[in-house]
Structure 1
């Protein structure tokens, strides 16, 4: 681990390489798993506020899920997450384009209808954050569905942290990211 401000960064984020390869995985991370996308407490009001503008981009099943369960749920582990269609796997905010998943929230953002891109946990994936009162720990979440992303990352020689520069800056700021790069250069 390296320490950058009040954040501990797993060295795997520096050593491992990763670039999403949607043509291969088809966005499986949005439809696989045992719960929805993790949400932060401060994202709940944002999600509720943007929902009316996101709704037109959602599938009928996704809309029905949100209408029944709300814009977020508490999962079996007690964590805040996006709701899933039929209670598991597919995120309620998933939509499809040419057989590839797309986030309805992100579509509304890209069209200038909202100013929130998507939940931070989605934007940061495959980085997962464990938050403690005084510090965060960033670690690399390995998942078999991302094999093609690992291969493409190795081919292009893009470390995980570099691929996720934008969401890391979104979370911790440009100065923090600059400090991360300085720390990595000293390794």
Structure 2
């Protein structure tokens, strides 16, 4: 299977042998890819604190927050499926929106007008400088595929990496069973 080129909406699936502790066995959803750089969010690494522990405006809302990546870990971002209700978002892929009015999103959650199943919060993000991501792809650190709502909003964070590889089928599906360190086999 041929790798797809990175673009907004691409999933970066960590190669089973990628050792970088920030990205080992992760799936990153790219929100933007341009010549000057790229950024996205790790989908399958739960952060140690919930939204209400990080934001006073979300008091009483113990929603999960994911570790989006090692860059600007003092910022909160979100992906959602509610473009008609949360103004200011940007469509990254079909039915997947990045950002928008944070306070509106929190109020809609509080009022049960949107469900937590359709929104995902991240602390920090993953970023690549000019040419960095393309070099990592040449080094085969990442396997690429097209992002979709099912994986981006998957509740079981432990299933995302395996499911992303299963979706590719064939030889990729076999990677699920590879040990993290083949020398230990």
- TM-score of the superposition, structure 2-length normalised? 0.32
Larger RCO (alpha carbons 8 Å, 6+ apart):
1
Q: Specify which structure has the higher proportion of helix.
A: 1
TM-score by length of 1: 0.32
